[in-house]
Amino acid sequence: MILVIDFFKTLLLTSRDLLPIVLLFGFFQLVVIRQPVPNLARILVGSLYVLIGLTLFLTGLEDALFPLGKIMAEQLTHPDLLGNGSAVLDLTDWKSYGWIYLFAATIGFATTIAEPSLIAVAFKAREVSGGAISEWGLRITVAIGVAFGISLGAFRIVTGTPLYLYIMAGYMIVIIQTFFAPKTLIPLAYDSGGVTTSTVTVPIVAALGLGLSAAVPGRNPAIDGFGLIAFASLFPIITVLAYAQCAQWLSTRALMKPRKEK
Amino acid sequence: MKMAPFLLNSKTISFVLGKLRQSATDLLPIVLVIAFFQLVVIRQPLPQLGEMLFGALLVLIGLSMFIQGLEMALFPIGENMAYALSRKGSLFWLMLFAFSLGFSTTVAEPALIAIAKEAAQIAMEGGLLADDPKTMASYAFGLRMTVAFSVGFAILLGVLRILLNWPIHYLIIGGYILVMLITTIAPAEIVGIAYDAGGVTTSTITVPLVTALGVGLATVIRGRNPLLDGFGLIAFASLLPMMFVMGYGVVVFGI
C-alpha cells in the first residue's frame, strides 16, 4: 500500500519535471515552428515510457536502494565497526577509514554505471562517432573517475583539508591535459563531468558525506558534508581526457611501428 | 508506422527480455557492491529484504522503459527542435528556446530547492544571515533563481558557441580560471554549495534533450562536426552555476 502511494507521489514529481518541457515544446511547435511534428505518435508513446519508466525507477530507488545506501553509510562510519573490536582507535587518523575509501570508490563506480543520463550521453557519443567511441568504454572510464573522485573526497572530509585546494589542483590537471588531448574528445570529456551526478549517485554520496563528517571528530556536517559531488563531477573529466590521450598514443604507436620495420 | 508496444508475440518478448537484460547489466555493479559490504564487512542482517528485492525489480523495469523512451522520444524531440529552429533561421527564437530550456527545467528541480534551503541554513549558522524565516526564504529563492538563470544562460552560450564556432576549451579554461579567482574572494559558507550546485543542475530528462539539441545543431549547420561541436552544452551548464552562485554570495554578503 505504501508502495502504491510512493508510486503516485513520484509520478506527480516526475510529471512536474516533464511539465516545463512539454509546455516549452508545445509553445514552440504551435507558435513558432507551426509545422507538423514527424512521428508524433511514436514520440508521445516514448514520452509515456519516459514518464512511467522514470517513476518506477525512482520509486524503486527510494524504496530499496537509498535506505540501504544510507544505512550502510551509517554502519560503515560507526565507531564500533571502524575500531574493528579494538578499544584504542584514533578517529582523527585518516588511516582508520580503509573500508570507507573502498566503499566510496566502489559505490561511486557502481552508481555511475547505472546513471541514466550517462547511458544517454554514451549512446549519443557512440552514434555520433560512428562506433569509434564504445558505450561501455566511456561509461567505465567515467565511473573510474567518479570512484577515484569520491574516495579522494572522503579522504578530504577525514583530513579536513580545504575543498578548494583539491578542486583547483584538479582544474590545473584538466587545463594541462586539454593542451595535449585529441581535440575531438575534449567536449565529450567536459560533458562527462556534469552527467555523472544525478538521480542514482547524488543521494547515496550525500548520505556518505553527511555520515562521515558526523563520525570524524571536529568535522561539521553542515560545512564538510558538501563537496563530494564536486569531486564526482571533476575527476571523470580527467579520466576521460586521459583515456583519449592513451587511445591516441596507442594508435600513433601502431601507425609508427610498421614504418620502422620497413 | 503502427505502434503495438504490448503485442505479445515471440519477437516482442525477446525484445523486452533483451532490454531487461541490458538494464540488469547496468544495475549489477550496485548489487555486487552492496552484497560484498553486507556479507564481508558489516555482517548484519538486511532489514526488509523482500521489500528491497521488489524495489530492485521496479528499478530494473523502470530503467529499461526509460531507455526505450529515450530513443523514441527525448532524442527525437531535441533533434527535431534543432532542425526546425535552424531551418527557420531566426537567431532570436533559437536563443530564446535555449535559454528557456535551461531555465525552466532547473527552476523547479527538487534537488535544487533542497540545496537552496540547506544553503540558507548554513549561512544563518555561519552568522551571515539573520535567523528569521523571511530573510532565509528570500535568500534561498534568490539562490534558486540565480542557478536557474545561470543554467539558461549556459545553454544559450553553448548554442551560440556551436553557431559561431568558438573553440570550447578556451571558454571552459577561462571559466575555470574565473571560478578559481572568485573562490578566493567568496565567503567560505557558499563555496562548497557553489561547487555542488554545478553537479545537481543537470537532471535525467534534461541531459538527453540538451545533448540531442547540441548534436542536432552541429549536424545541420554546415562545417560543424557533431562530435567536436555537438557536445559541450552540459559542460557549460555545470560550470556557470558555480560562478553565478559564488557571485551571488559576493553580492549578498560582500567580500
For the entire predicted model, the pTM comes to 0.87
**Residues B105 and B184 reside in one and the same domain:** yes
Closest Cα in chain B, distance from residue A54 (Å)? 6
Mean of pLDDT values over A157-177: 88
Total residues belonging to chain B? 255
Predicted pLDDT of residue A87: 44
Is B212 part of any domain? yes
**Residues B60 and B122 reside in one and the same domain:** no
Cα torsion at B233, B239, B241, B244 (round to 10°)? -120
| pLDDT category of residue A91 using cuts at 50, 70 and 90 | low
**CA A74 to chain CA mean position, Å:** 21
Predicted pLDDT of residue A65: 77
Is B1 part of any domain? no
Q: How far is CA A223 from CA B109, B126, B221, in A?
A: 22, 10, 46
CA–CA dist B236, A187 (Å, integer): 10
Looking at the predicted structure, is the pLDDT value of residue A241 above 90?
Answer: yes
- Kindly give, in sequence order, each residue whose CB lies less than 8 Å from that of residue B251, ignoring residues fewer than 6 positions away: none
Is B211 part of any domain? yes
Q: Which of B47, B72, B97 is the last residue of a domain?
A: B72
CA neighbor of B209 nearest in space, from B102, B134, B136: B102
- Kindly give, in sequence order, each residue whose CB lies less than 8 Å from that of residue B221, ignoring residues fewer than 6 positions away: B86, B162, B163
Predicted pLDDT of residue A119: 92
Contacts 24+ apart (CB under 8 A), B181-185: B182/B243, B182/B246, B182/B247, B182/B250, B183/A164, B183/A167, B183/A168, B183/B246, B185/B250, B185/B255
Q: Which of B53, B68, B207, B220 to mutate to test the interface with A (most CBs of A within 10 A)?
A: B207
**Residues B34 and B125 reside in one and the same domain:** no
Is B7 part of any domain? no
Is B81 part of any domain? no
Q: How far is CA A251 from CA A178, A254, B48, in A?
A: 19, 5, 51
Positive or negative, the CA dihedral A22, A24, A30, A34 is negative
Amino acid type, B161: R
- Kindly give, in sequence order, each residue whose CB lies less than 8 Å from that of residue B241, ignoring residues fewer than 6 positions away: B146, B147, B150, B151, B154, B194, B197, B198, B201
CA–CA dist A129, A118 (Å, integer): 16
**Residues B97 and B62 reside in one and the same domain:** no
Q: Where do we find the cell 529563492?
A: B141
Predicted pLDDT of residue A240: 94
Spell out which residues of chain A touch residue B169, defining contact as CB-CB under 8 Å: 178, 186
Q: CB-CB: which of A24, A51, A117 is closest to B208?
A: A117
Which cell numbers hold the place of B5?
508496444
Spell out which residues of chain A touch residue B70, defining contact as CB-CB under 8 Å: 46, 50, 116, 119-120, 123
Predicted pLDDT of residue A85: 45
Which cell numbers hold the place of B163?
553557431
Cα torsion at B201, B114, B56, B41 (round to 10°)? 100
Predicted pLDDT of residue B115: 78
A223 or A249: whose pLDDT is higher? A249
Packed helices A135-159 and A186-195: angle between N→C axes, nearest 10 degrees: 60
A223 or A158: whose pLDDT is higher? A158
Predicted pLDDT of residue A46: 92
- CB-CB under 8 Å, A227 with B195: yes
Packed helices A135-159 and A98-113: angle between N→C axes, nearest 10 degrees: 150
Which cell numbers hold the place of B245?
552562485
Is B2 part of any domain? no
**Residues B102 and B223 reside in one and the same domain:** yes
**CA B34 to chain CA mean position, Å:** 26
Q: Which of B72, B100, B118 is the last residue of a domain?
A: B72
Q: What is the pLDDT of residues A105-151, one digit of tens each?
A: 999 999 999 999 899 999 999 998 888 888 999 999 999 999 999 99
- CB-CB under 8 Å, A226 with B196: yes
Q: CB-CB: which of B69, B77, B234 is closest to A53?
A: B69
Q: Which of A191, A220, A235 to mutate to test the interface with B (most CBs of B within 10 A)?
A: A191
Predicted pLDDT of residue B1: 44
Predicted pLDDT of residue A81: 63
**Would you say A108 and A143 are in contact if contact means Cβ atoms under 8 Å apart?**
yes
Q: Which of B41, B72, B103 is the last residue of a domain?
A: B72
Spell out which residues of chain B touch residue A202, defining contact as CB-CB under 8 Å: 111, 199-200
Spell out which residues of chain A touch residue B3, defining contact as CB-CB under 8 Å: 41-42, 45
Predicted pLDDT of residue A169: 92
**Residues B47 and B125 reside in one and the same domain:** no
Domain extent for B61: 14-72
Q: What is the pLDDT along chain B (255 residues), one digit of tens a residue?
A: 444 555 567 777 888 888 888 888 888 998 888 888 888 877 777 767 787 888 889 999 999 999 999 989 989 988 888 888 888 888 899 999 999 999 988 887 777 887 788 788 877 877 777 788 888 889 889 998 999 999 999 999 999 999 998 888 899 999 989 988 998 888 877 887 888 777 777 778 888 999 999 999 999 888 888 888 889 999 999 899 989 999 998 888 876
Is B220 part of any domain? yes
Interface contacts (A, B; CB < 8 Å): 327
Closest Cα in chain A, distance from residue B142 (Å)? 20
Predicted pLDDT of residue A152: 93
**CA B20 to chain CA mean position, Å:** 25
CA–CA dist B215, B220 (Å, integer): 9
**Residues B189 and B228 reside in one and the same domain:** yes
- CB-CB under 8 Å, A65 with B85: no
CA–CA dist A56, A48 (Å, integer): 12
A82-104 b/e with 16+ CB inside 10 Å = b?
Answer: beeeeeeeeeeebebbebbbbbb
Closest Cα in chain A, distance from residue B136 (Å)? 16
Q: What is the pLDDT of residues A196-218, one digit of tens each?
A: 777 788 778 877 887 788 777 77
**CA A6 to chain CA mean position, Å:** 25
Is B52 part of any domain? yes
CA–CA dist A164, A170 (Å, integer): 10
CA–CA dist A172, A179 (Å, integer): 11
Spell out which residues of chain B touch residue A233, defining contact as CB-CB under 8 Å: 198-199, 238
A30-50 b/e with 16+ CB inside 10 Å = b?
Answer: eebbeeebeeeebbebbbebb
**Residues B149 and B121 reside in one and the same domain:** yes
Which cell numbers hold the place of B57?
525489480
**Residues B132 and B241 reside in one and the same domain:** yes
DSSP character for A132?
S
**Residues B100 and B202 reside in one and the same domain:** yes
Q: CB-CB: which of A21, A46, A229 is closest to B209?
A: A21
Closest Cα in chain A, distance from residue B137 (Å)? 18
- Kindly give, in sequence order, each residue whose CB lies less than 8 Å from that of residue B215, ignoring residues fewer than 6 positions away: A124, A128, B79, B82, B226, B230, B231
- Kindly give, in sequence order, each residue whose CB lies less than 8 Å from that of residue B224, ignoring residues fewer than 6 positions away: B162, B165, B217, B218, B230
Q: What is the pLDDT of residues A93-107, one digit of tens each?
A: 666 678 888 989 999
Q: How far is CA B35 from CA A111, B43, B128, B227, in A?
A: 14, 10, 44, 39
Predicted pLDDT of residue A90: 58
Looking at the predicted structure, is the pLDDT value of residue A262 above 50?
Answer: no
- Within 10 angstroms of residue B168's Cβ, the number of other Cβ atoms is 23
DSSP character for A196?
S
Q: Where do we find the cell 572568485?
A: B182
Closest Cα in chain B, distance from residue A129 (Å)? 6
Domain count of the fold of chain B: 2
Residue of A nearest to B31 (CA): A110
Which cell numbers hold the place of A6?
510512493
**Residues B106 and B133 reside in one and the same domain:** yes
Which cell numbers hold the place of B69?
523512451
Looking at the predicted structure, is the pLDDT value of residue A83 above 60?
Answer: no
Secondary structure (DSSP) of B65-103: HHHHHIIIIIHHHHHHHHHHHHHHT-HHHHHHHHHHHHH
**Residues B171 and B111 reside in one and the same domain:** yes
